[in-house]
Amino acid sequence: MVTRLSNAARSGSANGVVDLLDGGPGPGTVQIRTGAQPASVGTAATGTLLGTLTLSDPAFADAVNGVATANPITGDTAADATGTAGWFRGFDSTGAAVIDGACSLAGDGGEMILDKVAVIAGGAINVTSWTVTQPAG
């Protein structure tokens, strides 16, 4: 037998994850890094930190059919380093790590879509979309 979830359960699950980004007194942040995503959110961050962006508060709109879509994210106008963006990690405003995943250009399979993945130190980093999906199963 296969476990299946209703759309309401999928949305509730997705909301439960992204609502953790709203923890603490202010907006959360998301770091953009080079290289491959670590084994888990609890694993130390790897790769070069390219930049840190500020999330809206709340970070995400309510999920629909198991898909939560981020509210606007404030770009980083002065990237910390030069490199190719490979993954992201999201934090609540207390600095607690909540979620990480792949970032890419549109159509390249990342959960977070950037306007460019080739980042230049001092340049801008902008997110065009970020979704968190709870699969139907």
State the pLDDT at residue 55: 98
State the pLDDT at residue 61: 97
* pLDDT tens figures, 52-93: 999 999 999 999 999 999 999 999 999 999 999 999 999 999
Kindly state the tokens that stand for 52: 């840190």
* pLDDT tens figures, 84-118: 999 999 999 999 999 999 999 999 999 999 999 99
State the pLDDT at residue 3: 86
Q: What are phi and psi of 2, to 5 degrees?
A: -110, 135
- Report residue 29's pLDDT band, with 50, 70 and 90 as the boundaries: very high
**Of residues 1, 4, 2, the one with CA closest to residue 135:** 4
Mean pLDDT of 29-40: 97
State the pLDDT at residue 136: 83
Q: Quote the Cα angle for 109-114-117, to 5°.
A: 85
